[in-house]
Homo-oligomer: A and B are copies of this chain.
Amino acid sequence: MDKDKILKALAHPVRLEILNWLKEPEAHFSGQEHPLDMGVCASQFERCGLSQSTVSAHLSTLTQAGLLSTRRIGQWVFYKRNEDTIAAFLKQLSQDL
């Protein structure tokens, strides 16, 4: 749990938005072809208005920070929030900050 890395990952509005969308996948990604319990497909996040490569980089930043977990199924990669890490981070921040 790298606090500095997580804080850097959170310091961008689009990445915050992605995390926020993933709190309620049903509310934001109901149109997805695949069942939502697999996670949300990477391409779905291009709705933020950025290019595929940029979105991929943001997803990577969040994943590297431990905030998202990924699962490849076939040619797709599905993303979910890593609630354990998020909770641990919030707990530590509440103590440290």
Kindly list chain B residues whose C-beta atoms are within 8 Å of the C-beta of A94: 90, 94
State whether A20 touches B93 (Cβ < 8 A). Answer: no
Q: How far is the CA of A86 from the CA of B94 in the complex (A)?
A: 10
Number of A residues, CB within 8 Å of B? 15
Q: How far is the CA of A8 from the CA of B9 in the complex (A)?
A: 10
Q: How far is the CA of A40 from the CA of B96 in the complex (A)?
A: 19
Kindly list chain B residues whose C-beta atoms are within 8 Å of the C-beta of A90: 93-94, 97
Kindly list chain B residues whose C-beta atoms are within 8 Å of the C-beta of A93: 90, 93
State whether A19 touches B86 (Cβ < 8 A). Answer: no
**In the complex, the 10 A-B pairs of residues with the closest C-beta atoms, listed nearest first:** A11-B11, A8-B11, A7-B11, A7-B10, A90-B94, A4-B13, A86-B97, A90-B97, A19-B97, A90-B93
